[in-house]
Amino acid sequence: MISVVILGAGNVGTHLVKAVQSADNLSLIQWFFRDPKAIKSPIKDVEFCHDLDRLKLADVYIIAVSDKAISDVSKQLPFENRLVVHTSGSIPMKQLDMKHRRGVFYPLQTFSLASEVGFSEVPFCIETMQREDSKLLKNLANKMESPSYMINTEQRQALHLSAVFINNFTNQLYRIAHELSDSKNINFDVLKPLILETAKKVQYLSPYAAQTGPAKRNDQVTINHHLRTLESHPEYQSIYEQLTKSIKNTHGFKKL
């Protein structure tokens, strides 16, 4: 039985609490967060803690707070030589206080409180200072039915950057498309099958091979028409031009 304390009540912390609580052979000892009003979706049978000095002993302490708070929280933990990990994709492991056995337990997934997450689809990127700690974290991920990978800091930061392109930037493009379709009284649901098919294709094709559209085929007539349509949205026009240029460069058409 692996005992766990989770620190943080944001999206990642809340989903980790649910995953640990529901897993066999894992014991959620405490859930720490400073503000008693921080919980937006109550979870039953969890011991809450709002004072770091009242933390109980556990096999692993998972810090799931904002990147800027990780270092301070780790310094304030009232013990030494326990396994303390953070869940950030970009923060170096060495920002955790040296009095701890340090590690990273980074879930490579997007989390929101409004959407349930199946942890069998959440890969964990693991980094530790000690081999025994890596075994413990891999065992922890396994008990949550999650795949896990040993990843160093440089690799993790590259993955996090890639994830920003895949998730955050793509979602902003969805938002722009939503605005453009709304402006013509078109239900955004019409575009949802295309969103799903686009994501499905890269499960069996490389992104290079999956690319289609006017930029891929150097269809300048359609491109010019789109740019004229976007004249009242210069920001979106600029995004369109930059992405079109990038696709053309990738597929052998250097001039926009």
Q: Are 88 and 104 in contact (CB under 8 A)?
A: yes
Helices 234-250 and 170-183, packing angle to 10 deg: 130
pLDDT at 255 over 60: no
Task: Please tell me the predicted confidence (pLDDT) of residue 254.
Answer: 62
Averaged over 193-200, what is the pLDDT? 96
pLDDT value of residue 36: 73
- At 40 the pLDDT is 61
Distance, in Å, from the CA atom of 24 to the CA atom of 145, rounded to the nearest integer, reads 10
**So what's the pLDDT on residue 128?**
96
pLDDT at 164 over 70: yes
Q: How are beta strands 48-49 and 60-63 bridged, if at all?
A: unpaired
Q: At residue 43, does pLDDT exceed 80? A: no
- Residues of the chain with pLDDT > 70, as a percent, come to 96
Q: How far is CA 4 from CA 10, 31, 57, in A?
A: 17, 9, 9
Longest dimension (CA), the chain: 67
Dist CA 77 CA 69 (whole Å): 13
Q: Determine the 3-state secondary structure of 185 from DSSP.
A: coil
Cα–Cα distance measured from residue 43 to residue 11, given in angstroms and rounded to the nearest whole number: 13
Question: Which stretches within the chain are classed as H helix?
Answer: 11-22, 70-76, 131-143, 153-163, 170-183, 192-201, 207-210, 220-229, 234-250
- Report pLDDT digits (tens) over 110-163: 998 888 888 999 999 999 999 999 999 999 999 999 999 999 999 999 999 999
Average pLDDT on 53-72 reads 96
Residue 60 in tokens = 């692993």
Judged against a pLDDT cut of 80, whether residue 172 lies above it is answered with yes
Residue 171 in tokens: 């979602």
Tens digit of each residue's pLDDT (9 = 90 or more) over 75-112: 999 999 999 999 999 999 999 999 999 999 999 999 98
Q: What CA–CA distance (Å, rounded) separates 148 from 124?
A: 5
Residue ranges of domains in the chain, CATH in brackets: 2-151 (3.40.50.720), 156-250 (1.10.1040.20)
